[in-house]
Structure 1
Amino acid sequence: MLDSITRERDFPALAGEAYLNTAAEGIPPRQVHEAVGEYLRDKSLGMNGRDGHFRRAERCREVAARMVGLGPAEVAFCSCASEAYNLLHAALAPREGDEVVVSDLDFPAGVTPWLVSRTPTRLWTQRDGALHVEDLERLLGPRTLLVQVSLVSFWNGHRIDWAAVHDAVRRRAPDAVLAVDVTQALGRVPTLCPGADVVISSTHKWALGLHGGCVVGIAAARAERLTPRAGGWYHVENAFEADRFERAALKRGAAAFAVGMPSFAAIYALDAGLRYLEDVGVARIAAHADPLVARLDAALRERGHVPMAPLVPSRMSGIVAFRTPDAARLHACLERERIRVMHHAGRIRLAVHGSNTADDVERFIATLAAVHPAAA
Structure 2
Amino acid sequence: MGEHIDVERVRQDTAGCASVVHLNNAGAALPPRQVVDAVVAHLRLEEEIGGYEAADAQRDRIEHTYDAIARLVGAARDDIAVVENATRAWDMAFYAMPWQRGDRILTAGAEYASNAIAFLQTARKHGVQVDVVPDDESGQLDVGALRSMVDDRVKLIAVTHVPTQGGLVNPAAEIGRVAREAGVTYLLDACQSVGQMRVDVAEIGCDLLTATGRKFLRGPRGTGFLYCSPRIRESLEPPFLDLHAATWTGRDSYQVREDARRFENWETYYAGKIGLGVAVDYALDLGLDAIQERVTGLAETLRAGLRGVPGVTVHDRGARQCGIVTFTVEGRDSQDVASALKANGINVSVSIADYARWDFEPRDLTSVVRASVHYYNTEAELDRLIADVGSGR
Fold conserved between structures, TM > 0.5: yes
Superposition deviation, residue 253 in structure 1: 4.8
Runs of 4+ in 1 over 4 A off after TM superposition: none
Partner of 2:282, secondary structure, is helix
Partner of 1:301: 307
Residue 147 of structure 1 aligns to a residue in which SS? strand
Please state how far the C-alpha of 1:61 moved relative to its aligned partner: 0.4
- Residue 116 of structure 1 is aligned with which of 121, 146, 149? 121
Q: CA deviation at 1:370?
A: 1.0
What 5-or-longer segments of structure 1 have no aligned partner? none
| Corresponding residue number in structure 2 for 1:366 | 387
What residue identity is the alignment partner of 1:122? D
Structure 1 letter corresponding to 2:15: P
Equivalence for 2:195? 187
Q: CA deviation at 1:311?
A: 5.9
Q: Which amino acid is 1:300 matched to?
A: L
* Cα distance in 2 between the residues matched to 1:249 and 1:69: 28
Alignment gaps of 5+ in structure 2: 353-366
Q: Counterparts in 2 of 1:60-99, with a 5 A limit?
A: 60-99=65-104
Residue equivalent to 2:355: none
- Could you tell me whether the CA contact under 8 Å between 2:167 and 2:317 is conserved in 1? no
Q: Where does residue 310 of structure 1 map in the other structure?
A: 317
Determine helix, strand or coil for the equivalent of 2:28: coil
What SS does the corresponding residue of 1:353 show, helix, strand or coil?
Answer: coil
Indicate if the aligned counterparts of 1:342 and 1:349 stay in contact, CA closer than 8 A: yes
Q: State the number of aligned residues.
A: 364
Partner AA of 2:328 in structure 1: R
User: 1:268 — aligned with what?
Assistant: 274
RMSD: 2.1
CA distance in 2, matches of 1:143, 1:186: 31
2:338 to 323, 331, 339: 331
Counterparts of 1:1-376 in structure 2 under 5 Å?
A: 2-44=5-47, 45-46=49-50, 47-118=52-123, 119-126=128-135, 129-171=139-181, 174-193=182-201, 194=203, 195-236=205-246, 238-239=247-248, 243=250, 245-303=251-309, 305-310=312-317, 312=319, 315-324=320-329, 325-326=331-332, 327-345=334-352, 346-371=367-392
Are residues 110 and 252 of structure 1, via their aligned partners in 2, closer, same or farther at CA, if it must alter by over 3 Å? farther
Residue by residue over 1:107-149, the C-alpha shift from the partner in whole angstroms, topping out at 9 and shown as x without a partner, is: 2333322321223211124466432222322332111111111
Query: Equivalent residue of 1:233, what SS?
Result: coil
**Hey, what's the Cα distance between the residues in 1 that align with 2:60 and 2:114?**
30
User: Does structure 1 conserve the Cα–Cα contact (< 8 Å) formed by 2:228 and 2:260?
Assistant: yes
* Cα distance change, pair 349–54 in 1 and its aligned pair in 2 (3 A): same
**Whole-angstrom distance in 2 between the partners of 1:365 and 1:15:** 20
| Per-residue deviation, residues 303-343 of structure 1 (Å, max 9, x unmatched) | 3533222364xx34111112334123322321122111112
The residue type equivalent to 1:169 in the other structure is: A
Q: In structure 1, what is the Cα distance between the partners aligned to 2:351 and 2:317?
A: 20
CA distance in 2 between counterparts of 1:322 and 1:272 reads: 34
Structure 1 pair 353–50 and aligned structure 2 pair: CA distance change class (3 A): same
On the 8 A contact 1:90/1:230 being kept in 2, the answer is: no
**d(CA) in 2 for partners of 1:229 and 1:285?**
36
Residue identity in the other structure for 2:168: H
Deviation at 1:229, TM superposition (A): 4.8
Structure 2 Cα separation of the partners of residues 146 and 175 of structure 1? 10
Q: CA separation in 1, counterparts of 2:206 and 2:259?
A: 14
Query: Relative to structure 1, is the Cα distance of residues 366 and 120 closer, same or farther in structure 2, using a 3 angstrom cutoff?
Result: same
TM-score (norm 1): 0.90
**Deviation by residue 1:221-280 (Cα, 9 ceiling, x = unmatched):** 2221233253322111x24x6x2x321100135121113322212201101111111111
Are the aligned partners of 1:199 and 1:216 in contact in 2 as well (CA < 8 Å)? yes
Higher mean alpha-carbon deviation, 207-216 vs 222-231, is at 222-231
CA distance in 2, matches of 1:52, 1:144: 47
- For residue 4 of structure 1, report the CA deviation from its aligned partner: 5.0
Specify the code of the residue in structure 2 equivalent to 1:15.
Answer: A
Contact 1:178 1:196 in 2 (8 A): yes
Structure 1 CA distance for aligned equivalents of residues 12 and 206 of structure 2: 37
The alpha-carbon deviation at position 10 of structure 1 amounts to 0.6
Higher mean displacement: 302-311 or 84-93:
302-311
Q: Deviations over 1:12-59 (max 9, x none)?
A: 112142111100011111001111122113323223222134322210
Change (3 A) 1:86 1:331: closer
Q: CA 1:100–1:252 in 2, change beyond 3 Å: closer, same or farther? A: farther
Same amino acid, percent of matched pairs: 23
On the 8 A contact 1:185/1:192 being kept in 2, the answer is no
Cα distance change on mapping 1:285 and 1:60 into 2, 3 Å: same
